Amino acid sequence: MTERILFPAAAIAARLDELAAELTAFYTGKPLTVLAILNGSLVFAADLLRRIPLPLRLECLNVASYHGGLESSGVVTFQQNNLPDLDGRHVLILDDILDTGRTLHAVKCRLFKETHPLDVRVAVLLKKRKERAEPLEADYAGFEIGDEFVIGYGLDYDGRYRNLPEVRVLEP
């Protein structure tokens, strides 16, 4: 397999500066909890949150839907039983990519079923231009991409390539 660079590290850093400014403006003065979806959003969340100068809480939720394949399996698996206490908080869900929408839809449904947040918004590094299996859109997106399989900057193929500093398209 070969990879071509879709977004170099410098372009990602510049876009994160812009996103951080938007998020800081929106969440200033609000009780914010960031809910990072693991493992994919780890790099994105770390780099983005260091750019947001607000007193926020960070929680993580381990969720999987690809299970080692090139496409979403259609099955969303929660790796933990309990959600963090989000009652009375503004919640910003961070994820690496919005593809089918299944993972983020499952997370949002579970949040509203089990907790009482003031508001829930979604920020993703990448948003695919495609029809979604679930009716969900991101409130904030770093970049829009075609329907390609991407790796790097937290995104993986079978657990590998998350450590690449840029986003690449994985090509056979």
H or E element in which residue 108 lies: helix 102-114
Confidence tier at 121 by pLDDT (50, 70, 90): very high
**Please, which residues have CB within 8 angstroms of residue 46's CB and are 6 or more apart in sequence?**
none
Every domain of the chain and the residues it spans: 9-66+77-145
Average of pLDDT values for 109-138?
92
Which tokens is 68 given? 């080692």
Which of the following is catalytic: 96, 99, 119, 156? Answer: 99
Q: What is the pLDDT of residue 68?
A: 56
Nearest to 61, CA basis, from 85, 78, 86, 44: 78
Which tokens is 109 given? 């449904």
Which tokens is 96 given? 């690496």
**Please, which residues have CB within 8 angstroms of residue 51's CB and are 6 or more apart in sequence?**
16, 17, 19, 20
Which tokens is 162 given? 């998350």
Confidence tier at 73 by pLDDT (50, 70, 90): low
* Selected residue with higher pLDDT from 64 and 59: 59
The CATH topology of domain 9-66+77-145 is Rossmann fold (3.40.50)
Are 27 and 92 in contact, with CB atoms under 8 Å apart? yes
Task: Write down the pTM of the prediction.
Answer: 0.90
Whether 87 sits among the annotated catalytic residues: the reply is no
Look at residue 95 and give its three-state secondary structure.
strand
* Spatial distance between the Cα atoms of 64 and 48, rounded to a whole number of angstroms: 22
Residue-wise pLDDT for 29-51, tens only, equals: 999 999 999 889 999 999 999 99
Q: What is the pLDDT of residue 117?
A: 95
Q: Beta strands of the chain (E only): which ranges?
A: 2-7, 32-38, 56-64, 77-78, 90-98, 119-128, 140-145, 150-151, 167-171
Confidence tier at 85 by pLDDT (50, 70, 90): confident
Are 67 and 73 in contact, with CB atoms under 8 Å apart? yes
* Maximum distance among all Cα pairs of the chain, rounded to whole angstroms: 48
Q: What is the pLDDT of residue 47?
A: 98
